[in-house]
Amino acid sequence: MNFKDYGNTLEQSFQKNALAKQQAAFISKVYMWMSLALFISGFTAYFTANSPGLLNLMFTPTGPTFLYYALIIGELGLVFALSGAIYKMTLGLASAIFLFYSFINGMTLAMIFLAYTMSSIASTFFITAGTFAIVSLYGYFTKTDLTKFGRILFMALLGVLLAIIVNIFLKNSMLDLIISVVGVLIFVGLIAYDTQTLKSLGAQINAYERESYSKTAIQGALSLYLDFINLFLYLLKFLGSRR
């Protein structure tokens, strides 16, 4: 190898290392936002479940109140706002909406404390966290292009949503079991897919454009947060002990 070839190889190595550090820094920022949102949701859910006044506003012996359904609709509105219009917002507003969404979601998640034992919720959370970590690491380091699987997963997710709506009227326990199994598989796949997508995005986005960089990290955190929460809820149906 001549000196010129050696210099080119060395330069390529430096560029590769710089790119890897850039990707790692971006993913770390995404995980930071996601972890903060999970903490807020978990704390809010526990606090709400232990506040009789809040529970009475959201639930009655016959079922959820109007406020509970209003919070669900509000959550959906916030997700659509962040997903579709985050780059039209200021960074402060985008951050506030994301954190407020995690707070509202925590309030609605309080119902799991009414249905399942605290020990089973805790154990399922740690199993979810471990699964998330393993699958996310796979998505980050795998050389397999998961793009084609992403399209399949999104189509399967639409099918699950349709099945959930149908089963509201059918109340079929077997269909509910199938939905739960498929739901776990879908969100395990989406964790890997979203992680790989965010890694690729981390190689393209300019860290010096602070506002755009942070907004993209928040949007990525929202995707992984939703993956985590949904995986947790589906696993809870299998692993949770009813009260």
**83-104 pLDDT tens trace:** 989 999 999 999 999 999 999 9
CA gap 37, 221 in Å, rounded: 9
Q: Residue with structure tokens 């099918």?
A: 159
Distance CA 157, CA 140 (A): 22
pLDDT of residue 238: 87
| DSSP result, 77-116 | HHHHHHHHHGGGS-HHHHHHHHHHHHHHHHHHTTHHHHHB
pLDDT at 9: 58
* Angle 30-31-33 from CA coordinates, rounded to 5°: 65
pLDDT tens-digit map of 19-55: 888 899 999 999 999 999 999 999 999 999 999 999 9
pTM equals 0.92
pLDDT at 14: 61
Distance from C-alpha of 200 to C-alpha of 23, rounded to nearest angstrom: 8
